[in-house]
Amino acid sequence: MRYINSNVEVLSVEEIQMIHDSTMDLLETVGLKVPHEEWLDMAEESGAHVDRDNQIMRIPRKVMETIIEEKRQQAEGQKKKAESKILYGHISTQVQMVDYATKREDAGLWRTFTTE
């Protein structure tokens, strides 16, 4: 077995913000080419500026940040919901035993569990 040694450099908060700001600027000024009428309709309904002749949508920063915040809240709600669920399932040894003389197979033991 071979091991790979490497150094990882993490972006600073300022660098992450710079990437975010640049992305927001590109979405608002350059936009995205979206050759799909239904998506262009949805984007326009959400507040994007749509150039139908060139199939380009430009998303204002305020609209994009509202969408991002809504998605963050949805994800947080789903996380809380998942954490509150009771888990139920089976644990198995998954041992498969075969008697080759009789061709008889036996499976592992199943145990039911519940967590709260």
63-86: pLDDT as tens digits: 999 988 888 888 888 777 766 655
Tokens encoding 27? 């979405």
Specify the pTM.
0.57
Instruction: Assess contact for 46 and 64: CB atoms under 8 A.
Output: no
Rounded to whole angstroms, what are the CA distances from 94 to 104, 110, 113?
Answer: 16, 8, 16
Residue 109 lies in a domain: no
pLDDT digits (tens, 9 = 90+) for 1-26: 677 777 777 888 899 899 999 999 99
Q: What average pLDDT does the segment 48-59 reach?
A: 95
Distances (CA, A) of 70 to 4, 65, 116: 40, 9, 29
For residue 44, the enclosing domain spans 13-85
Distances (CA, A) of 41 to 37, 51, 67: 6, 11, 16
Strand partners for 89: 113
Q: Are 34 and 55 in contact (CB under 8 A)?
A: yes
Torsion of Cα atoms, 36 then 39 then 40 then 46, to 10°? -170
Residue 1 lies in a domain: no
Note whether residue 90 is domain-resident: no
> Would you say residue 113 lies in a domain?
no
Share of the chain above pLDDT 90, in %: 39
Q: Where does the pLDDT of residue 87 fall: very low under 50, low under 70, confident under 90, or very high at 90 and above?
A: low
